[in-house]
A and B are shown apart, each in its own frame.
Chain A
Amino acid sequence: GIQVEQSPPDLILQEGANSTLRCNFSDSVNNLQWFHQNPWGQLINLFYIPSGTKQNGRLSATTVATERYSLLYISSSQTTDSGVYFCAVAWVVNSGYALNFGKGTSLLVTP
């Protein structure tokens, strides 16, 4: 399957700071997604972004498919942004597709 690597593995920010999370993948993809897993364990889909740039409030994401990476930007971070951020790409499994997840970036935003 496609290898997905995320960096950094851990990140501590003070409230109000900006950050950039990176996702590298080993092959061309037509499906890349970013998820946020909150401290209660719930997985929230942030972006479906196989290419280009999208923005949603303080969060934005850019995928450069030809160079096999995606970036997630968090601006003016808040304590509620804490949790783990996962990048996931679709890969072929038997007769269908599955999401292959990176190991995640664990973010802690302090007051």
Chain B
Amino acid sequence: NAGVTQTPKFQVLKTGQSMTLQCAQDMNHEYMSWYRQDPGMGLRLIHYSVGAGITDQGEVPNGYNVSRSTTEDFPLRLLSAAPSQTSVYFCASTQDSLYGYTFGSGTRLTVV
């Protein structure tokens, strides 16, 4: 029972590079979301999805792109990395948006 799996756990990027953070869940959850955690700012919502083929923006979507082609996977793409995107990224899933959430173990990203 893997739950929510995020890869990679750590990543260093140069400014301007692009990359994809992977998120997969095996609980058949419809609702998936991406958060970033920054010191003093708490966790903030980047993008979310209420099912395959359906995505929407959260509080801080600029510079990020998502897609949801399957129920299991919800990748987050950084189009052109900037130092302001240095953060810890968490993926979460839930059966329904009004139930308990399960979080992945996070990806620590540094942009230099």
Contacts and interface: CB of A to CB of B under 8 A. Distances in A.
A101 interface: yes
Given A93-B45, A104-B42, A42 B106 contact: yes
A97 B88 contact: no
Interface string A79-104: 00000001010100111111101111
A98 B98 contact: no
Interface stretch (B19-27, B55-63, B68-76): B55-63
A103 B57 CA distance: 22
Interface residues of B, number: 26
A110 B21 CA distance: 36
B20 to A, nearest CB: 21
Interface residues of A, number: 24
Given A98-B59, A101-B43, A93 B105 contact: no
Contact of A98 (B33, B42, B99, B100): B33
Contacts of B90: 43
Contacts of A104: 42
Contacts of A98: 33, 45, 48, 58-59
B102 interface: yes
Interface of A: 30-31, 33, 35, 41-45, 48, 86, 88, 90, 93-99, 101-104
